[in-house]
Amino acid sequence: MEKTLSLIKPDAVERNLIGKIITIFESNGLVINKMKKIHIDLKFAQKFYEMHSSRPFFNDLCNYISSGPLVAIVLEGDNAIQKNRDLMGATNPSEAKEGTIRKMFAISIDKNSVHGSDSSESAKREIELFFEQD
């Protein structure tokens, strides 16, 4: 069984979409292993997105993800990392396929409603970052 980190980002939490998004995971065979609502600070956001630190959108990205509560989830299942990425859809919702979470709920490339680990290395790092103290 593989594990991956999902985040329901502040734009989706603010619009009361937690249940709708979790239902999509569960309906597609992903199991919620751990879950918590948390408001991260800017320092944590910069650590989480450190691989993007040289990108022009880095400051906006970190300010946004720390702007309000998010829901961090450890999803478990066969091929969980790729399955979650497929359910999420493309980073830019205007390019996301019909039926994906970002197509249904995302507002923009910044407020794109969900995050999902993109490899087993990032899954391990991100799960530790959010849940190691629990």
Q: Which residues bind ligand ATP (CB under 6 A)?
A: 52, 57, 61, 91, 109-110, 112, 115-116, 118
- We find the least distance from the C-beta atom of residue 118 to ligand ATP, in angstroms, to be 5
Q: Is 115 annotated in the active site? A: yes
By CB neighbour count within 10 A (0-12 exposed, 13-18 middle, 19+ buried), where does 116 fall? Answer: buried
- We find the least distance from the C-beta atom of residue 124 to ligand ATP, in angstroms, to be 15
Nearest residue (CB) to ligand ATP, 2 versus 118: 118
Residue-by-residue DSSP string for 53-72: TTSTTHHHHHHHHTSS-EEE
Integer Cα distance of 12 and 79 in angstroms: 25
- We find the least distance from the C-beta atom of residue 83 to ligand ATP, in angstroms, to be 14
